[in-house]
Structure formats: structure tokens, C-alpha cells
């Protein structure tokens, strides 16, 4: 779990992002953001390459203001 400081002014910094990888290959992610009074919600969508079969490693690298904050990996089996 990543804990961000109470000052969220850096959330709009272009260095705040998530990079997604499939088997070590960077995938294109689309950022979707919604701003409500005092709060900005961001999420990213990525589509894995078509036609995957077998076992593959998916990885998400989370950056806050350009600093790597965390990495999550998962192994997925496609059939």
C-alpha cells in the first residue's frame, strides 16, 4: 500500500503515472481523470496484446512526481 502525503498538489504532475508491462514490454496506457471539488481521481486503462496464450507476467509500476513508489506483478494464464 502506498501512502501519499496530505498535500496532493503534485498529483497533476506529469511524473505521476502508472506504467504497465506485459512480459517486460511497455504497453500503452490511457489515463482517465475526474475532478470533483477538492479531489482528483485518476485511473489508467491498458489492453494486453491480442492473442496471448499460456502464462504471462503483468506488471504495474506506480510513479509519484517521477519517483517510483511501488511495483505490482501478477502472472496470468490465457487460454
> Which three cell numbers mark 35?
475532478
Question: What pLDDT sits at residue 1?
Answer: 44
The whole-number average pLDDT for the span 12-17 is 71
Please report the pLDDT score of residue 21 as a whole number.
93
Delimit the domains of the chain by residue range.
13-78
What are 18-74's pLDDT values in tens digits? Answer: 889 999 999 888 888 788 887 777 778 888 888 889 999 999 998 888 889 999 999
- Look at residue 11 in the predicted model and tell me its pLDDT: 54
Q: State the number of CA atoms in the 13 A half-sphere of 67 facing the CB.
A: 7
Residue 14 binned pLDDT confidence (cut-offs 50, 70, 90)? low
Cell reading at 52 = 496471448
Whether pLDDT at 76 is above 80: yes
Amino acid at each position: 500500500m502506498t501512502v501519499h502525503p496530505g498535500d496532493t498538489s503534485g498529483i497533476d504532475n506529469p511524473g505521476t503515472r502508472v506504467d504497465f508491462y506485459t512480459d517486460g514490454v511497455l504497453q500503452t496506457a490511457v489515463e482517465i481523470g475526474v475532478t470533483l471539488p477538492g479531489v482528483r481521481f485518476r485511473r489508467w486503462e491498458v489492453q494486453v496484446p491480442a492473442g496471448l496464450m499460456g502464462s504471462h507476467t503483468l506488471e504495474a509500476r506506480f510513479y509519484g512526481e517521477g519517483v517510483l513508489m511501488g511495483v505490482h506483478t501478477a502472472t496470468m494464464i490465457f487460454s
